[in-house]
Amino acid sequence: MIDIAVTFAFGAITLAVLLNLYRLVRGPRMADRILAVDTMTINAIALIILYGISQRTTVYFEAALLFAMFGFVATVVFAKFILRGDVIE
């Protein structure tokens, strides 16, 4: 039963990644593209966690945590770039 749920979740998150790719390519503004990248980071974390559940191991949960930390820093850097036009002061 859990295999069916994990397979459905993989499909749903894959669809979400494809929709994010569309917004990344077609986004009319830079803010839309940055939001798409941030959302893709969240979806990638979800895919890593689902893969860990399907493999029944905890190693992937640590990888997802590291990916989340780097994704947060990247989002802050992108936001600072949009507001100020420069990352390093």
Pair of tokens at residue 10: 């993989």
Please report the pLDDT score of residue 24 as a whole number: 92
DSSP H or E stretch at residue 58: none
Please report the pLDDT score of residue 76 as a whole number: 86
Per-10-residue mean pLDDT, the chain, length 89: 90 96 91 90 95 92 94 87 74
Which residue's entry shows tokens 């993989």?
Answer: 10
Q: Which pairs with CB-CB distance under 8 Å and at least 24 residues apart come from 63-70? A: 67/41, 68/41
Q: Check if the beta carbon of residue 50 is closer than 8 Å to that of residue 2.
A: no
The amino acid sitting at 34 is: I
2-84: CATH topology is Helix Hairpins (1.10.287)
Please report the pLDDT score of residue 89 as a whole number: 65
Please report the pLDDT score of residue 43 as a whole number: 96
* Full-model pTM: 0.84
DSSP H or E stretch at residue 62: helix 59-84
The amino acid sitting at 42 is: I
